[in-house]
């Protein structure tokens, strides 16, 4: 209890500072998290959110500042210290032993000795699961669980150790809508039981749905804390990026033009006993965005690779503007009018080459004079694209020095400046902050308005619903659903993505 008799906050971070060389990751951060609240942390990539929570969980040592738990200063030098103080953390990369059962994972490291009676442990885990309202079969093997179920095991593991403060770092990033709903239901029960929850997310609508208060970090410092009931989405976004944000205004699709990409009966060879793609057929028209939804690992990567000439199909046909490009090389596919924006932007550039060289990478022959590159033409070309696509870099900077957002702008500039007929884009905003995401979305919509056909592969359902005109759903290498985006129901999409519903024709 405090001097006035009030219950102290669950967590107080006072003046937390952390430097990595010349970079200040946390700059005198103060944060208060009350018992029985979901407190959201918002901020762009590099704003210091994860570093701050790693300090609270003992994974990183602060240079200055104090941690106060339940009104008492504590020294946290390791996760063991954090767990002893009642703090648990669930990251995006689960620390579960997949061949073991749920019960074995939950009690791992929490037992007093090396010999464990598994039936007794399973009963205790089942009791804990019921008490906290988290569905979990203690005898199930973790390897057989969905991503959402594994996440619940991680949460249960933290609660089993008497966690009173639960940190969740981007917990919905790999979940389908039904799993997000189940997670939020569990979090509300924990909140009502007095657990303090720190929720890191870049999705404003999720923050609004689940949190009580929100704190925004920018460049390592707190720039505002708001009660969610009083918060405005535009204000929060502006706090995150330090300027007013421009909402991407999506114009409704008129009548799309003729088919510019046609895929018929496409199959890609065996992968672990299953075909990566099985008899996939669809068409993309000029002036439309076709979104491809699906949980990671259901054939999306193979689809992009085969369309761009990186992988040969076992069967089927691919046409670009009426020209058969089935089995063509990447260079031939580019020449046919296909632009490829891959999911790994780092693999799409040569890190040791300059920005100017990377911007011309797919058509270097156009910059040759005799047997040598024309450096003057390369520079003029780079300066033009740097200005047009607002890339924060110079022509002579090495690509490896660019931030993720500027690296994605470089890839966009290289592809879109050639005005391809078809754009195949995969996970275009993965890992990007709000401002960079806003920019990429605007560029894709501009290409649609220009008349290009865009195939957008994304695991972010909100991104697909915001940008696409039509949607198809991939599950285990085949299309299991197709519908206009305007008529898409997130719940039904989630069922299709999980293989639990029949397809719907557009």
User: In the predicted model, what is the mean pLDDT of residues 135-139?
Assistant: 86
Residue 195 sits in the same domain as residue 221: yes
The reported pLDDT for the residue numbered 271 is: 52
User: In the predicted model, what is the mean pLDDT of residues 147-166?
Assistant: 87
Q: Give the mean pLDDT of the chain.
A: 86
According to DSSP, the β-strands at 23-33 and 72-74 are unpaired
For residues 299 and 205, the model is more confident at 299
Residue 407 sits in the same domain as residue 493: no
Domain carrying residue 358: 352-416
Taking the C-alpha atoms of residue 379 and residue 358, their distance in angstroms, rounded to an integer, is 11
CATH number for position 61: 3.40.50.300
Final residue before a domain boundary, out of 178, 212, 241: 241
Residue 378 sits in the same domain as residue 441: no
Residue 20 sits in the same domain as residue 167: yes
The 10s digit of each residue's pLDDT in 62-118 is 999 999 999 999 999 999 999 999 999 988 777 888 888 898 888 886 655 445 567
The reported pLDDT for the residue numbered 316 is: 96
The reported pLDDT for the residue numbered 295 is: 77
CA atoms 357, 359, 365, 369: torsion sign? negative
The reported pLDDT for the residue numbered 150 is: 87
**490: pLDDT strictly greater than 80:** no
Residue 26 sits in the same domain as residue 105: yes
**471: pLDDT strictly greater than 60:** yes
Flag whether 4 is in a domain: no
Residue 287 sits in the same domain as residue 433: yes
- Could you tell me the two tokens for 129? 């699961």
pLDDT above 70 covers a percentage of the chain that reads: 91
Residue 295 sits in the same domain as residue 431: yes
Residue 255 sits in the same domain as residue 284: yes
Flag whether 6 is in a domain: no
- Could you tell me the two tokens for 141? 């093997």
Flag whether 342 is in a domain: no
Instruction: Check: pTM over 0.75? Answer yes or no.
Output: no
Flag whether 321 is in a domain: yes
Residue 452 sits in the same domain as residue 504: yes
Residue 300 sits in the same domain as residue 434: yes
Final residue before a domain boundary, out of 360, 382, 416: 416
Residue 381 sits in the same domain as residue 317: no
**153: pLDDT strictly greater than 70:** yes
Residue 265 sits in the same domain as residue 333: yes
Cα→Cα distances 239→214, 224, 226, 235, 431, Å: 11, 7, 11, 6, 19
Final residue before a domain boundary, out of 207, 241, 275: 241
If one counts the domains in the chain, the total is: 3
How many Cα atoms occupy the beta-carbon half-sphere of 412 within 13 Å? 26
Flag whether 41 is in a domain: yes
């Amino acid at each position: 209890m405090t001097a006035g008799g009030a219950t102290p906050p669950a967590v107080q971070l006072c003046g937390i500072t952390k430097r990595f060389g010349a970079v200040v990751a946390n700059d005198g951060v103060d944060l208060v998290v009350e018992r029985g609240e979901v407190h959201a942390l918002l901020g762009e990539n590099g704003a210091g959110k994860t570093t701050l929570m790693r300090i609270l969980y003992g994974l990183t040592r602060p240079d200055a500042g104090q941690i106060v738990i339940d009104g008492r200063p504590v020294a946290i030098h390791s996760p063991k210290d954090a767990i002893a103080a009642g703090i648990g953390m669930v990251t995006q990369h689960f620390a579960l032993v997949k061949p073991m059962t749920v019960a074995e994972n939950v009690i791992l490291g929490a037992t007093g000795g090396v010999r464990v009676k598994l039936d007794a442990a399973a009963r205790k885990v089942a009791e804990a699961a019921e008490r906290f309202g988290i569905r979990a079969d203690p005898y199930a093997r973790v390897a057989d669980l969905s991503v959402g179920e594994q996440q619940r095991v991680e949460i249960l593991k933290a609660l089993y150790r008497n966690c009173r403060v639960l940190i969740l770092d981007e917990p919905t990033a790999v979940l389908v809508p039904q799993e997000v709903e189940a997670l939020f239901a569990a979090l509300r029960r924990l909140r009502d039981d007095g657990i303090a929850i720190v929720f890191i997310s870049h999705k404003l609508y999720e923050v609004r749905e689940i949190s009580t208060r929100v704190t925004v970090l920018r460049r390592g410092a707190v720039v505002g804390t708001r009660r969610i009931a009083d918060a405005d989405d535009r204000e929060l976004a502006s706090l995150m990026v330090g300027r007013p944000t421009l909402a991407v205004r999506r114009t409704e699709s008129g009548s799309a033009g003729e088919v510019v990409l046609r895929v018929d009966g496409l199959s890609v060879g065996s992968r672990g006993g299953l075909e990566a793609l099985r008899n996939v057929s669809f068409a993309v028209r000029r002036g439309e965005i076709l979104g491809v939804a699906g949980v990671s690992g259901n054939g999306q990567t193979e689809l992009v690779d085969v369309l761009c000439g990186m992988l040969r199909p076992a069967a089927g046909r691919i046409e670009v503007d009426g020209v058969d490009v089935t089995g063509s090389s990447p260079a031939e596919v580019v020449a046919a009018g296909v632009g490829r924006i891959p999911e790994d932007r780092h693999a799409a550039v040569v890190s040791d080459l300059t920005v100017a060289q990377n911007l011309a990478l797919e058509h270097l022959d156009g910059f040759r004079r005799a047997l040598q590159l024309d450096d003057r033409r390369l520079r003029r070309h780079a300066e033009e694209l740097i200005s047009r696509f607002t890339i924060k870099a110079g022509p002579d900077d090495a690509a490896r020095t660019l931030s993720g957002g500027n690296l994605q702008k470089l890839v966009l500039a290289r592809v879109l400046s050639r005005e391809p007929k078809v754009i195949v884009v995969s996970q275009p905003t993965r890992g990007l902050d709000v401002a960079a995401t806003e920019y990429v979305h605007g560029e894709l919509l501009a290409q649609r308005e220009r008349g290009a056909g865009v195939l957008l592969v994304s695991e972010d359902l909100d991104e697909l619903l915001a940008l696409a005109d039509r949607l198809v759903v991939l599950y285990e290498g085949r299309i299991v659903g197709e519908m206009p985006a305007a008529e898409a129901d997130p719940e039904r999409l989630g069922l299709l993505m999980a293989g639990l519903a029949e397809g719907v024709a557009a």
